[in-house]
Structure 1
């Protein structure tokens, strides 16, 4: 099996080299396609999105220069036939290209490595970059791409002894991931006309893990002692909720589908809750929660969140933060932090119709309640210290690229003005 996998990876490498040649030879332009991804999708009868991802990877692994007119490996004019000889890989990724050629890593591993190398700080020397690539390749030979991606965020520590610099780099990478995740968010649902509906969604990781935790909690079996002393599986909470005693006989995918249906049926429709309907444990330092530093927070689901997302969730959601001081001693564990009540939200509706950010017309019902004086710095949870912010402006407020000023009017309403940092 390992040999077959290695052969498949080498074929993938040859395919990517051919794609790189097509891209550098401008085959798409000569054949009337909008770009190389469109040409590749049509040529292989494949989907556009994975084809475009392959083009990006092939380009990253190859030199960016186009072949000259007298290049013997250039594409044959008119017939669309290409040589398998691709331009040599760029100096940054020569080791990665060689490992993919040899089948030691997969295309997905190479995708993670090229992304991590592109995110390394500007000004890092050639030798330092080579050491980082070597370390990523070492990790790739013993880790799945998803695990490699988590290690790759801190690959800078291979050459950087200052932990604060590594922390800042990881925070920057996570913040960029969060921004791309927000841009990629999507949802669709269609009626199958047979009593069912089918949908698909893409959401940022923090939102998705909350849904996963809720579904897992609803479908997890509970252990109990039977009357005879043996340990058995009690009817799940889902069976109690659905009234279907057969639920323990269903496969797990079916159980999760029923759990999602039950969850959707129980979402309040008279108002929107201000709490995120799950508990997500995040380990961070007190200084980072206050916004004084920028170290990523680690979740109990095994991944990391950038500091801005952690602070935003702590500001408006029912998370339980595990806050550590400089000696990594727990300062607060198990206490939901300073949530505004529904009565306070109702009182704020008499002052605000929409987001408090200057020029934003998103309605109040879409907003989260923000502490004008941060709770972690002594702010209070009262109406005078609260203002509604839509999700976009709440992210901006806790992000690294924006600063803000606050103006309070005579009627006690507050307007928050945002300015991009220079």
Structure 2
């Protein structure tokens, strides 16, 4: 391969994907080797405690890695019976995908973990669950597959395992002086926690960092910090007004003044803050186009002569009924692998509103702030296929078109006879 610094951006990204595939191939090639070493009893012959101990020395890896490789060999290698016949491996679908380098060793560990958590009374769901998780692992990263598996298990077994230790049965909240502040600790039952999370949700949305920063979409606060800020804001609103505000009732406070040429050519600049009390700042065309999709921003589009063409149009934004329909259809951010809930998402126009796109459900898709920016970069595209959003990646992302299944775990791991729905991608 040519030197990395000589490649174009797309060539470099394709090379990265190819390199990962070679890593997958090497990982898969170890499965029969580890299985054979275990079958021959080499660990005992060479005076090692067990097979993982042997692998630690031979391959210079940690014990957890060695144990994971042995477990993969035990479940993905064909079984040889005493009669000499060969039987399918314990996880045949995962074994086939791993052998073809379609999934990584991390995917293998995640799927094994999910399947190990299937309770005995749901054994009939194990094979469909394996097949579905492997299918989605071809285009979702291991973290997303782990979330999907956890949610599928929760729906297949809503009662879950019995708690090992006694749990509190009444809501509790303790405020204890700690340093210069107060430490809060508590416990809430599931229903109360749902009520609290619902009330906190509009107050804990990740907010952009200081305008002009290198990463203007990132909220540096942790989830715990955002929850803390949200709880304080909830108390302030309750004390001040006697009622909680919701995301839908927040006033539009930001304006972006965009020349019509910027919308049509995607070049030039725009101005933030026209008429909002002095919060003004120049932004590039890309940022202006992204903000023009945000329902919290009023677009002021100027003709070439400078006069306003329109000051925002109510029909440009998804109305409340459309938001409910989008939440039902997409479940949250529709970008593959994203689990951001619908109340934190923007109703994005697939054909940009500035390019003549309509505010109709077939032209809308829910996106979180981060993936809204990704789509506006222009390398990913989205379309509605079969009534659901399907995303097409750039050439350097392997796997082809895909859709987000994290918001629909009810479709994963179902027995075919009970109405299992095949995925389109």
TM range (shorter): 0.3 to 0.5
Structure with greater contact order relative to length (CA < 8 Å, sep ≥ 6): 2
